[in-house]
Amino acid sequence: MPDEPPDRKSKPRPEPRKPHTGDVLHLTRAASVQFLCPIFVRVIRVLDWPTYDGWLWIDGYELAGNGDAVARRSLFVMPAGLIWPDPPAPAAPSPSHPRAREARSGEGRMTRRPRPHQPMRPAWLCRNCAAPWPCAPAQLHLATEFYGHSIALAFYLAANMQDAVDDLYSLGVRPDPRALHARFLGWLSLTRRPRRVDLR
Ligand SMILES: [Zn+2]
């Protein structure tokens, strides 16, 4: 056996419940900042992707108010923040209700509150200020929400960047990877590290 691992043995913490195929989850801010507007998803499977401690990738269907699957999504969540709602599916506005569409996109809550600075797909412009996402307020918000979890934030932004690349291709646009990387990840303080390439 090689050396003992350096003392990064983290204290054993209680294992959060793990989601399973077929589970319906209520994803709120407790699971990730991206669910500022909570959604319901049906789990297709838990992905075996490399991730940051305390986080998990889930492949799932986002559910509309009536329980229909409206979009397939790869979601980056903290298992500790997952909610298994008691009823099998969200209680719902009927699909024909004019507000159903709003509810589906996570808006149209009862209470009026300022529109969050979240991306509008597939254009990836901010819903609030229409700037390319993550706009400055979104960056501030993310930095606050992920405070002390900068690697998780990087994973989250990288996942969004990948979605943006897919969306751009589907719109017939050929994305510039460098520009996208700068936009999604370039503002992180993680990038402090010297670049290996430039060193010699
Ligand atoms: Zn904005």
pLDDT digits (tens, 9 = 90+) for 86-108: 754 454 455 555 554 444 444 44
> Does 194 or 40 have the greater pLDDT score?
40
Residue 30 alpha carbon to ligand 1 centre in Å: 22
State how beta strands 56-63 and 125-126 pair: unpaired
Model confidence pLDDT, tens digit, residues 173-183 = 898 999 999 99
E strand or H helix that includes residue 98 = helix 98-104
Residues 136 and 184 grouped into a single domain = yes
By the CB criterion, residues less than 5 angstroms from ion ligand 1 are: 117, 126, 128-129, 135, 137
Residues 79 and 120 grouped into a single domain = no
- Show which of 50, 71, 88 is a domain's final residue: 88
Would the CA dihedral through 87, 71, 15, 160 be positive or negative?
A: negative
Question: Is it the case that residue 112 has pLDDT exceeding 70?
Answer: no
Task: For residue 137, tell me if it sits in a domain.
Answer: yes
Task: For residue 38, tell me if it sits in a domain.
Answer: yes
Task: For residue 194, tell me if it sits in a domain.
Answer: no
Task: For residue 37, tell me if it sits in a domain.
Answer: yes
Structural domain count, the chain: 2
Residues 183 and 120 grouped into a single domain = yes
Q: pLDDT grade, residue 195 (50/70/90)?
A: very low
Structure tokens at 127: 């819903």
Range of the domain at 24: 16-88
62 close to 141: Cβ distance less than 8 angstroms: no
Mean local confidence (pLDDT), 53-63: 83
Residue 9 alpha carbon to ligand 1 centre in Å: 40
Task: For residue 154, tell me if it sits in a domain.
Answer: yes
Q: pLDDT grade, residue 13 (50/70/90)?
A: low
